[in-house]
Amino acid sequence: MGTLCSLLRRWLRGPLSGQGIRRIRRYPGIRRVGAAAAALALGASVASCGVWAESSAGSQGQGGPGPASAASAGSSAPGSTPGTAAAAVPSPTPTPGKGPACAAVRCTSVLLTGDMLVHAQLWDQGRADALTTGAKGLDFGPLLAGQRRYIEKSDLAICHQETPVATPAGPFSAYPSFNVPPQIAAAVRQTGYQACTTASNHTIDRGTAGLVRTLDALDAAGLQHTGSYRTAADAQGILILQTAAAKIALIEGTYGLNGQVPEAAWQVDMLDPGAMIAKARKARSLGADIVLGAMHAGDEYASVPNAEQQRVAHALADSGQFTMVYGHHTHSVLPIERYKGTWIVYGLGNGITELSPSYVVNNEGLLVRAQFSQDDAGTWTASDLAWAPSVIVRGPYRWCSVASDAPQGPCAGAAADAATRLRTSTVVEAMGAAAAGAHELLITKER
């Protein structure tokens, strides 16, 4: 099925060659039936690959397919034929979704983590982890394994791929110009993520070739993506991810590119509230129920959002187009704010990173899960916001939750874990998050 899925993804990007079409027709269940039945078989194959496309005139989306619970709209991939998207019609069937108990007829949950920041010590660990199983290459799965329990209790999980990737054999490089092992993409997908944002200050560290190589790696892993693009047509697309209950649009922008200039301005989405709001309106016109805004911005290692973060986040919320706004980039956890009814998670810290001897906050992160519910009028709003503090430990390198229920047991030691938890909660709640209803995510207590 893997080869068929790859062909179907290419077919959705644009016309296949005659050879490609013949290869699809050779598959069992398609080759042995007539034209009408073949169409049904092809449709079933598309669904089983998690590939689905919705388009608006002049709009192309991006990204490889996730599982059947994830879909892209605006079209699924580069080069899709434009069409007309039907408006979303709420189903009367109760759809509680994963996560906390659903007080409405329909709920869905989204899990978010911060920067996937791969440094040399992490790819050394990946090589060591591969060797323990007798495998060659690199295995980042054990590094991320602690996140899986949280992802399994969420309908959709979104990562941030901070850096460009190299070819599988390298050469690899870290800061200041990243070129990291592409095996991270497969590990992210295997952990349970369905999509990643890709716009960051490092997106064009390796030029257009590195940008395209990264998107290719995400596609090969089955991860959908938005934030950087292969073509101008792709850049006009809107990524819409489908859960059992809702269509969720994802729109991102980065504050800058470390002074680098892309070959074309459309290659990377910038932190422009006007452009992001325009995309959000387009997403709504395509039937998106929920729109998430992702900001790659802020002052590194800070504990408070800067003026730009607050200005952009508030503008997105004030537009009435965004259901929730969140951010990454600072390599530190930042506060959560409920602004005029809209949750803003200013900084998720690092999803993974090597340990910093200078900045303890660099070693910490925030995993956030938001539950969204639909009211009788059909409007979706965040009905629950929960967060779990995390830390990176080494010997071996692992992501580890330091939430109060200690789902992985001790991480860096009881005292160190308690200090991380206190430091994180103090920052998270500094702008009134607890009073507004945000709370710690205790995954072991859930049904």
Checking if the pLDDT of 291 tops 50, the result is yes
Q: How far is C-alpha 63 from the chain's CA centre?
A: 11
Which pLDDT belongs to residue 324?
Answer: 98
Tokens 């560290």 — which residue?
A: 205
Sign of the Cα pseudo-torsion (12, 13, 19, 23, in order): negative
Q: Tens digit of pLDDT for each residue in 205-221?
A: 999 999 999 999 999 99
Query: Residue 65 above 60 pLDDT?
Result: no
Task: State yes or no: pLDDT of 51 exceeds 90.
Answer: no
Say yes or no: 217 and 327 in one domain: yes
Q: pLDDT at residue 5 above 60?
A: no
pLDDT at residue 24, rounded to an integer: 44
Percent pLDDT > 70 in the chain is: 79
Confidence of residue 82 (pLDDT cuts 50, 70, 90): very low
Are 431 and 306 contained in the same domain? yes
Residue 93, pLDDT score: 83
Place of tokens 């869905």: 108
Confidence of residue 247 (pLDDT cuts 50, 70, 90): very high
Average pLDDT over residues 187-202: 98
41/162 same-domain check: no
Asked whether residue 63 carries a pLDDT value surpassing 50, the answer given is: no
Considering the domain architecture, whether residues 19 and 112 belong to the same structural domain is answered as no
Asked if residue 89 is part of any domain, the answer here is: no
**Which residues, including other chains, have CB under 8 Å from residue 388's CB and lie 6 or more apart?**
150, 366, 367, 368, 401, 403, 440, 441, 443
pLDDT at 90 over 80: no
Out of 65-69, 121-125, 250-254, 346-350, pick the least confident. Answer: 65-69
> pLDDT above 90 covers what percent of the chain?
78
Confidence band for 67, pLDDT divided at 50, 70 and 90:
very low
pLDDT above 90 (res 177): yes
The reply to whether 158 falls in a domain is: yes
Q: Considering only CA atoms, which of 325, 184, 311, 144 is closest in space to residue 252? A: 325
Residues 167 and 235 in one domain: yes
DSSP code, position 99:
S
Q: Average pLDDT in the 26-37 region?
A: 39
pLDDT band at residue 113, thresholds of 50, 70 and 90? very high
- Checking if the pLDDT of 19 tops 60, the result is no
Stretch (H or E) spanning 186: helix 183-191
What is the C-alpha to C-alpha distance for residues 333 and 115, in angstroms, rounded to an integer? 11
Residue 8 belongs to domain spanning: 2-49
pLDDT value at residue 121: 97
Q: Is residue 431 part of a domain?
A: yes
314 shares a domain with 175: yes
305, part of any domain:
yes
Taking the alpha carbons of 4, 10, 11, 16 in that order, is the dihedral positive or negative?
negative
Strand partners, 270: 254
CATH number of the domain to which 406 belongs: 3.60.21.10
Instruction: Determine, yes or no, domain membership for 87.
Output: no
pLDDT at position 447: 75
Same domain, 145 and 18: no
Structure tokens at 376: 């009788």
Instruction: Output the 3-class SS for 324-354.
Output: EEEEECCCCECCEEEECCEEEECCEEEEECC
Together in a domain, 23 and 113: no
State the helix-helix crossing angle for 273-285 and 307-318, rounded to 10 degrees.
30
Is pLDDT of 69 > 90?
A: no
- What residue has token string 């074309």? 264
User: For residue 391, is pLDDT > 60?
Assistant: yes
In this structure, the answer to whether residues 237 and 120 fall within a common structural domain is yes
**What would the pLDDT profile of 344-372 be if each residue is shown by its tens digit?**
999 999 999 999 999 999 999 999 999 99
pLDDT bucket at 43, cuts 50 / 70 / 90: very low
Say if residue 169 is in the same domain as residue 303: yes
Please tell me which residue, 40 or 266, carries the higher pLDDT value.
Answer: 266
Mean local confidence (pLDDT), 130-139: 95
Give the count of domains, the chain. Answer: 2
Helix axes 2-13, 35-49, angle to 10 degrees: 100
pLDDT at 248 over 80: yes
Greater confidence (53 vs 218) lies with 218
pLDDT value of position 87 = 54
Shared-domain flag, residues 213 and 283:
yes
Q: Please indicate, yes or no, whether residues 27 and 152 belong to a single structural domain of this protein.
A: no
102 in a domain, yes or no?
no
pLDDT class of 410 with cuts at 50, 70, 90: very high
User: Does the pLDDT at position 178 exceed 90?
Assistant: yes
